[in-house]
Structure 1
Amino acid sequence: MNEQKTKLLAELKFKTARAGGKGGQHVNKVSSKVMLIWPLAESACFNAEQKELLQARLENRINKAGEFFLEASTDRSQLANKEIAIDRFFNLLEDALKVDKPRKKTKIPKAKVLERLDRKKKQAQKKADRGNRFEM
């Protein structure tokens, strides 16, 4: 996995911009926001099937040019934001590549079904007994 991470890191592009938020005048001078850009279609780290899966699961983060886009601007430091963006990137990839287990259908046990029907009969009888008793 470490080999693949190094290859992926080589494919990443970073852009910086001025971030809003805390920092006062410092914010107006320093480009601390980091934008991570990864060309998914051109990546040599994944096969076609994995790319398709990533495309489907991360579609809201992929632009029309086929580039994965992620921003980090939580910290005042550009270096810290870059590390945050890289961590988020690997976490997102890991989650997107997980294969979901198929759901096994379960059947309600017959005893539980009969128990429920018995409760319903008792409730219906209780309500029927409350009816108008003085009919002529």
Structure 2
Amino acid sequence: MATQIRKRGLETEITISATKSSGAGGQNVNKVNTKVELRFSIPNSSILSNREKELLVSRLGSKLTRSGDLILSSEEERSQLRNKNTVIEKFYGLIEWGVRPVKKRIPTKPTKASKRRRIDNKRKNSEKKSRRRNDF
């Protein structure tokens, strides 16, 4: 399910804009719009199912705006194209992580060896602490 996210055509629903990057960089930073911002509205998506939208909203809640928009940006590279590719990779990584089903944990029993190690460790600690006591 998660691997097919890239094939669904989410590019039609994302908005990409470029602005001037901040920080050091001299003339390139002052003149060229290299920072890329990606915006994706989860509630308004027609490609994602309702279940996928619920999963994304619950898992990505801290990264979403009040209206449910996911905003990602990249300004690491000096090139707008490389920043665009970086932010798109981030986007797909987050979406794939967000819609991946959670594996149910299967509880296991401790092995005999682990039980024996635990008991041995407890006995050693007990002996160590009993030697510290100042019995009169």
Q: TM tier, shorter chain? A: 0.7 to 0.9
Deviating more after overlay: 70-79 vs 14-23: 14-23
Cα distance in 2 for residues equivalent to 1:122 and 1:74? 53
Cα deviation, residue 13, structure 1: 0.5
1:33-76 deviations in whole A, cap 9, x for unaligned? 11100111011111111100001111122101211100010111
* Secondary structure at 1:75 match in 2: coil
- Kindly name which structure, 1 or 2, has the bigger radius of gyration based on alpha carbons: 1
Query: Which residue, 1, 16, 19 being the options, matches 1:17?
Result: 19
| Higher RCO (C-alpha 8 Å, min separation 6) | 2
Cα deviation, residue 15, structure 1: 1.8
The residue number in structure 2 matching 1:62 is 64
Identity of aligned residues (%): 34
Letter of the structure 1 residue corresponding to residue 82 of structure 2: A
Q: How many residues align?
A: 130
Cα deviation, residue 113, structure 1: 3.7
The residue number in structure 1 matching 2:45 is 43
* Secondary structure at 2:17 match in 1: strand
Following TM superposition, the consecutive aligned residue runs of length 4 or more in structure 1 with deviations greater than 6 angstroms are none
When normalised by structure 1's length, the TM-score is 0.78
When normalised by structure 2's length, the TM-score is 0.78
Cα distance in 2 for residues equivalent to 1:119 and 1:29? 65
What 5-or-longer segments of structure 2 have no aligned partner?
Answer: none
Letter of the structure 2 residue corresponding to residue 12 of structure 1: I
